Amino acid sequence: MGKLFKQITLFLSCLIMGLGGAMAGSLPDFTRLVEENAPAVVNISTVSHGRQSYHQFHKPENMPIPENSPFNDLFRRFFDEEGRGEMPPEESESLGSGFIISTDGYVLTNHHVVDGADEVIVRLSNRKSYEAKVVGSDEASDIALLKIDAEDLPAVRIGNSKNLKIGAWVLAIGSPFGFDATVTAGIVSAKGRSLPSENYVPYIQTDVAINPGNSGGPLFNLDGEVVGVNSQIFSRSGGFMGLSFAVPIELAMNVVEQLRRNGRVTRGYLGVLIQDVDRNLAETFGMNRPQGALVARVIKDSPAAKGGLQVGDVILAFNQQPLSNSSQLPPLVGTMPIGEDARLKVLRNGKEIDLTVRISELPSEEAQDQPEKSSAPEAARSNKLGLVFSELTADERKRLELSDDEGVLVREVHEGPAATAGVDPGDVVLMVDGKKISSLSQLQQIISEVPNGK
């Protein structure tokens, strides 16, 4: 009996050791990846000069100061001969990361790392420092391209984030809080994340530890290829909380090529306002599940208008790439070459149709017409929904590029079903239950006919 017990104990011990070895063997070994790529990761420090005028302060005119007084030096430092004061230059510094993308000295980093900097210093892993020239910088993608005067530099290999799978291991190298060549690892948590005010970047979300100073550093896959540029974190404390976001490398390299070639970035323009298709809308449109991008508005004379897109269309695919939600469309449009045709699969009145739209260049915000102030027309309340509607003024129609028989404005939102559904003041109702809205009276009639509870 004792011998049998020993044999069973020995068997269990071997089994546990075997499982432990298998688990250890399944974890990735990052050592070679780090050895090969760390030399191409750089520390970036910036200096911004400032000068603050103090013209409201003057040297006391009636205060006699002996020539040999030590206060004379003080006043000469802060005041000119006429008594006007100015503070000495103030400098602010910031730290970030970057990586070398070519052996002749091109460095990729984040826009926010170098934005507003008067001096940019790139320090290599061998401790050599170079003053960098900002070739170009793009705020919308948070990508900047630098150039240092050096040759035969170690450079990273560029991969493709499209091949990344959720749950795949990834690794970051950077300079958090100035600690050079810090290595952290984690997994891909999600892809195609859309962040507020970041319409043109489908971010890679990871749980890799990213902190201030990591910005602009590379995100590697297990093959040692750069698949992303670490850019943002979500944090309530200012530090890492398990939510990190990286710009996909193919988007970053598209920006880099434009900056290198033109010094600026152009983006494709479709000319629509879109929203997600929720469960209720999907049911209304006869769709088996929520998907695609619902066209809420078509800009007058835009590529979309010329290509035949209409309000109420649901864009299901763009250049044969299916859209699971509306946030996937802007990055696809933005990276389209200007003047090329895009193929759209659209759901209209329950039927799928194909449209071809020629993409133009995204107009600058400065080119948009500014609306004039005007008095609001008489409003009408809908107690059933908790909304206050009104007709659009001529100025509002001009600003929104709407025709005279298109849309009704939401003036106020009170407690009720509409507020719960996410309707906001300033929204324009263009369609209800598949019917185009052309007037306030029509909208009120449609709402009055909707049964309670629907």
Q: Which domains does the chain have, with CATH numbers?
A: 157-262 (2.40.10.10), 268-365 (2.30.42.10), 369-448 (2.30.42.60)
Instruction: Give the number of residues written for the chain.
Output: 454
112 flagged as catalytic: yes
Average pLDDT, the chain: 82
pTM of the predicted protein model: 0.70
58 flagged as catalytic: no
201 close to 195: Cβ distance less than 8 angstroms? yes
Is the pLDDT at 415 greater than 90? The verdict is no
pLDDT digits (tens, 9 = 90+) for 278-301: 898 889 889 999 999 999 889 989
* Long-range CB contacts (within 8 A, 24+) of 16-22: none
Is the pLDDT at 84 greater than 70? The verdict is no
Residue 333 buriedness (CB in 10 A; 0-12 / 13-18 / 19+): buried
Is the pLDDT at 124 greater than 80? The verdict is yes
- Give me the catalytic one of 45, 141, 189, 215: 215
Here the tokens at position 103 are 């052996």
Other beta carbons within 10 Å of 438: 15
- Give me the catalytic one of 102, 112, 276, 324: 112
> What was the pLDDT predicted at 452?
62
DSSP-derived 3-state class of residue 6 = helix
Residue 85 DSSP one-character state: E
Beta strands 90-100 and 41-50: pairing type?
antiparallel
> What was the pLDDT predicted at 440?
74
- Give me the catalytic one of 94, 138, 142, 175: 142
Across residues 21-30, what is the average pLDDT?
69
414 flagged as catalytic: no
Confidence band, pLDDT 50/70/90 cuts, at residue 69: low
> What was the pLDDT predicted at 388?
78
> What was the pLDDT predicted at 426?
75
DSSP-derived 3-state class of residue 158 = strand
Q: Helix H segments across 51-138?
A: 71-78, 111-114
